[in-house]
Each structure stands twice: as structure tokens, then as C-alpha cells.
Structure 1
Amino acid sequence: MSAAATRLLRDPVSALGLAIVLFAVFVAAFAPQLAPYPEDAYESHLLQRLRPPSAEFPFGTDNLGRDILSRVILGTRSALAVALSVVVAAMAIGIPVGLFAGWRDNWVSDVLMRVTDVFLAVPQLILALALGQLMRPGIETAMVALALTYWPFFARTVFAETRRLRSALFVDALAGIGARPSRILLLHVLPNALPAVLVRATIGMGFTILTAAILGFLGVGAAPPSPDWGLAVAEARQHLPEAWWFPTFPGLAILLLVLGFNLLGDGLRDAADPRLRRSRR
């Protein structure tokens, strides 16, 4: 683990991604203290609406006079909470499906993977929009929709790793001494599949943040007055191009955080996957 961390930190691109993610976590943890006007998450100040960036409001104000810098900072906590919840829920569904389907060769395994393929064949955003329309719009709806559309990626990843590992010599040795399949899967196969799962989870965090922002932009995700980045970009459309700062800073926040998770995911893949390291030698 220490060697993998060293390789990760020595790569400047991966280190940049890690720095962005850690900075976002810090901002999310201390958002109420860092925001200049934390009350602007829910209060309006119409007398100072659509003010350009200044010393008082570095990112300007929105259509309701709220400080955009404060709302971007407060939105970081929401974005990370949604992404983490969605990825954890998707892992809770996808990992058991992938383990069971990859270990067995029967009709149940075939059915599970065909269902997974059906979910993978439909674009995630389209499926999330369809599920979101069936339920009451809100951030909880977006989280459920994203979790139900992202678990197949974990299922397919774990399925491939389980199929590869089940024919390994250490698995045959464990089976030969009478180890139960559940013990082999949970204590030996799953830990060896974790590098691939970790990479998928890290990249999935960034993709989930982007998709949640799109859902907020389309009116299926977070609802006003939540300090959601995608919702802020949607509210700014009717004030362009005059109030250019209104969508610019929430959009940059989305860009930087998604970029950070993608760079970190690539670095984790290079550092933790020994097969990839061998292929590059």
C-alpha cells in the first residue's frame, strides 16, 4: 500500500487530482465557516441581485442577490455527499451481483448478467431521467436514480475480476483444503478485486457529480433554494450574456471536481493495478 501511494504521489497529474479532491473535501467539511455569507443558502437579497464580481462579492451575486461564492462553497458539501451516497449504494448492489455471477456457471448467473447488460445498454443519463420522472423531483430522487443506474458498472467489473481469479492457483488450493466458497469470495477474491473496484468508484464519483449536476440543470435533481451547482447554471440561462459570472463559477466548480476525480482515478489505476504496471514495462 505504501509503495502504491508513493507511485501515486510521484505522478504530478495524479498528485494534482488528489490535491483537488482533498481541497474539495476540506471545503465541504468546513463549508459554513468558509462561506462569507452562509445564510445565502436559503435567503434572498433582491436589492443586490446580479452584481458583478467585486471585493464584497468575489464571484458576484445571483438573480436573488445571493453571494455566488458562498453558494459554490456550500454546494461542495452537497455534491460530495450525493456522489459518495450514490457510489456506496451502487457498490452495495453491484459487488454481490458480480461476485455471485462470476463464481457460478448456472442460469441465475446468466440472468443476472443479462439484466446487467440491459442496464448498461441504456445511457445512464436517459435512464436516470426516466426514473426521476417517475418519482417526485428532488435530490433524493436523483440519488436513487443514479444508484439504480450505476450499479451495473460495478457488477461488470467485479464479474470480470471474479472470473479471472476463480481459476487462480491460490483459489484451487483453498478449495482443496475445504474452504467454503463464501470464505474464498469474501476473504480472498474480493480483496484481489478491490483495486479495480476502487478505480471504478473514484471515477464514478466524478461521473456522478457531473450527472447529478445535469439532472439538477434539467429540473429532476435538487430543487430551489438548494445551493446546487447544476441548478445554479440552469437558473442563470435567462440572464446571459449580461450576468456571465452567474453560471461561470458553478460550472468551473463542476469542471474542477470532476477533473480531480478522473485524474485521481487514473493515478490509482496505474499505482494499484499490477497487471497494468507489468503491461507498461
Structure 2
Amino acid sequence: MLVLKKLLRDIPAVLGLVIILTVALLAIFAWQIAPHPEQIYGTNILRRLRPPSADHWMGTDALGRDIFSRVILGARSALIIALGVVGLSMLIGVPLGLYAGYSRGFGSSAVMRLADLFLAVPQLILALAVAQLLSRGLESAMIALSLTYWPFFTRTAYSETLRIRSSLFVEALEGLGASPLRIVALHILPNIAAPLIVRATIGMGFMILTAATLGFLGIGATPPSPEWGLMVAESRQYLPQSWWYAAFPGFAILLTVLGFNLLGDGLRDLVDPKLRRSR
């Protein structure tokens, strides 16, 4: 409760939370909220490239589809990507980081050198390479992003585990004969959960942006999926006359990523008192 009160006093973090909750509600009730659900996938050339109006708040695209309805449904794809990629990355990276941080010897060094190898290559370049090896689609983009993002969680879990590893209570548990698995799962993991949550929150915004980039480059979602990056890519040949075609999906990406970053910064300030005091 005290943590929640402190978070609610952070205006940017509250703004980010409001943005994320709004996007989540749009994603959950997309088909009920969309004003023209029948125009999300259907085409009507007679309505093509109409500017924003009372009937079409964000205009229509080159196939006469309502952009506002497609942007709302695109929120579902964005959150599925964010949650799926971050969840799978944590499932891979956190256990490896815990193992490397608690154990000693060759296994710990091998895990961290493998993570360093992945981190040495820019994530977008590595994700593009992996995605090219897989079939085109949203699932392939999620797999590619997960296989390139896990080292960030490994690094975070490793550094925090090293810090907790030298604590007196860990030495006491070892002296009492507690197994390494019990110590790591029941005592170290709960103590490093906060920085992992901060990393996950910021990572969700980053994943949405990276997935939109893959969609823009034609590697992620496939037409006629209402995916924000793909919608921006489809609008290129109609700029600058049909500015609304790219502007509104792009603004949706900007607003959602901003929301996750603001909330992540607020959570980071709560986790790191030194950072909060310096700010």
C-alpha cells in the first residue's frame, strides 16, 4: 500500500499507467468499441483515402477501411506482442541469470559469455536475421524478438543475484543445509523481483516499438492484419497528401511506448532510492 501511494504521487508514472490501462481496455473490448468493425478487414474502393470526418474519425486507408477501427484492434496485437515477448524472454533469461549469479565455475561463465555474445549485436539487426529464417508472420516476429531480448533479463538477474548472494541470510541458509534450489527460488528470486519488473515494464514499450519496426520492414505481421507498423508501411506511397494514413497509427505507437516508459521510470525510482533522491 505504501508503494502504491508513492507511485500515485509520481505524476508522470500515473500518466503512463492511465495510458497503459486505456490501451489495455481498447485491446480487450476492441470489437465492441470499434465504430466500424465491418470495415477492419473488408474493402470498399468508394471510401478510399477519405480524410478524418464525423463518420471516420481518423479517415480511411487505400482500401476504404476505417483507420480508427483498425488502430483500436491494433492495440490488441501490440499488447500480445509485448506480453508474449517479455514473458518468454523472462522465462529464458531469469533462470539463466539466477543460475549464473548463484553458482560458480564454468557453467556461470558460459551463460554470461553467451549473453554477452547476443548483446554484442544490435537487437534489431539480430531480430531481423532470426525473423528472416522463420516464416513471415506475427508469431515469427515474437519468437525472433524473444530470442534476442532474453540476455537483458539474464544480465539483470545475474547482477542482482550476485548482490544478494553475499548477504548474511544466504550464508545462514547454506549453513542450515538448505538446498541451492530452495535458496534461489524462495529467497533470492523474491528479493530481485522488483528490478525485474522494472526491466519488464520498460521492455514492453521497447518490444512494441521494435515489433512495429519489423512490421514496417515487412517481416512481422502480414496484410490485412491491423498492426500499427504495417499500417504505417502501407501508407508510404500516399504521403504527404493522405497524412492521416500514417499519422494516427504512428501516434498510437508513440503514445503506447511513452506510457510504458513513464511507468517504468516511476517504478525504477521506487526501486532505487539513490536515483530518487538524486532526481
| Structure 1 partner of 2:122 | 123
| Structure 1 partner of 2:207 | 208
Distance in 1 separating the partners of 2:86 and 2:246? 27
CA displacement 1:7-44 (0-9 Å, x = unmatched): 11101011101110011111111110000111222211
| Structure 2 partner of 1:134 | 133
Distance in 2 separating the partners of 1:45 and 1:268? 46
* Number of residue pairs the alignment of both structures matches: 279
- After the TM superposition, which parts of structure 1 deviate over 4 Å for at least 4 consecutive aligned residues? 274-277
Kept after mapping to 2: 8 A contact 1:195/1:273: no
Alpha-carbon offset, residue 253 of structure 1: 0.1
Alpha-carbon offset, residue 105 of structure 1: 1.6
The AA in structure 2 aligned to 1:212 is: A
Distance in 1 separating the partners of 2:262 and 2:99? 31
CA displacement 1:186-216 (0-9 Å, x = unmatched): 1110111011100000000000000000000
Distance in 2 separating the partners of 1:177 and 1:253? 54
- Aligned residue for 2:235, secondary structure, equals helix
| Structure 2 partner of 1:243 | 242
- Aligned residue for 1:55, secondary structure, equals coil
Distance in 2 separating the partners of 1:101 and 1:68? 48
The AA in structure 2 aligned to 1:52 is: P
Between the aligned residues of both structures, percent identity stands at: 62
CA displacement 1:221-274 (0-9 Å, x = unmatched): 000000000000000000000000000000000000000000000101112345
- Aligned residue for 2:222, secondary structure, equals coil
- For normalisation by structure 1, the TM-score amounts to 0.97
1:68-107 to 2 correspondences below 5 Å: 68-107=67-106
Distance in 2 separating the partners of 1:38 and 1:261? 27
Distance in 1 separating the partners of 2:28 and 2:122? 33
Kept after mapping to 2: 8 A contact 1:17/1:261: yes
| Structure 1 partner of 2:24 | 25
Distance in 1 separating the partners of 2:271 and 2:159? 17
| CA RMSD in angstroms, aligned pairs only | 1.1
Kept after mapping to 2: 8 A contact 1:101/1:108: yes
Alpha-carbon offset, residue 4 of structure 1: 1.1
Alpha-carbon offset, residue 179 of structure 1: 1.2
- Aligned residue for 1:126, secondary structure, equals helix
| Structure 2 partner of 1:227 | 226
Distance in 2 separating the partners of 1:169 and 1:243? 64
Distance in 2 separating the partners of 1:101 and 1:115? 11
Distance in 2 separating the partners of 1:104 and 1:180? 12
Q: Extract unaligned runs of 5+ from structure 2.
A: none
Alpha-carbon offset, residue 170 of structure 1: 1.1
